[in-house]
Amino acid sequence: MNLNFKQSEKLVLVLIIFGIISRIIPHPPNFSPVTAIALFSGLNFFNKKIAFTIPLVILIISDFFLGFSLINLFVYISFLSVVFIGTRIKKIRVNNIFLSSLIFFLISNFGVWLIGYPKTPDGLLLCYTMAIPFFGYSIAGDLFFGFLFKVSFQEISKKIITNKGV
């Protein structure tokens, strides 16, 4: 179910505020709804400019509080890639969420390797190995928030359809 602009204005604002707050408040590393928001946005927003803009707005605004570094570029690219995945899928499923988590892991840690590890195969392997604990948190957060958005959206859609029929 693609949302038109009228239906999505409030949802866009809620997703952005929720995403910003969730990144700023204390939480386990990488346990954040941004991947799920990116996937959800690509899947559900008819206007793909809005879909690609939502995670960027969340990241940029929250990074004013958290700080900017070179790694941000790789993080932003990874979330834009997740939005793209969202534009190609039909439903939020475990395999789509896992693919999104994997994309984030591969792209963001490639950036970490470029910035802070020896530019050798061993350096790359070490970088990805050191990131494995964070990957677990990413998967857990992405699954939790991905299904939270899926179920919430289904329930909200039912209520909207029910209210239109009354």
Written as six digits, the tokens of 68 are: 């900017």
Structure confidence by residue, pLDDT tens digits, 53-98: 999 999 999 999 999 999 999 999 999 999 999 999 988 999 999 9
30: left (phi over 0), alpha (psi -120 to 50) or beta: left
Q: What is the pLDDT of residue 6?
A: 60
Length of the chain: 166
| Position 108 confidence tier, pLDDT thresholds 50, 70, 90 | very high
First to last CA, the chain: 21
At residue 158, does pLDDT exceed 60? yes
The predicted-structure confidence for 114-139, as pLDDT tens digits, reads as follows 999 999 999 999 999 999 999 999 99
Domain extent listing, the chain: 5-165
C-beta separation of 30 from 79 below 8 A? no
CB crowding 65-103: b at 16 or more within 10 Å, else e: eeeeeeebebbbbbbbbbbbbbeebeebeeebbebbbeb
pLDDT, one tens digit per residue, over 65-77 is: 999 999 999 999 9
**Beta carbons of 32 and 23 less than 8 angstroms apart:** yes
| pTM score | 0.88
Read off the pLDDT of residues 39-58 as tens digits, 9 standing for 90 and up: 999 998 888 999 999 999 99
CATH number of 5-165: 1.10.3470, 1.10.1760, 3.90.550, 2.60.40?
A: 1.10.1760
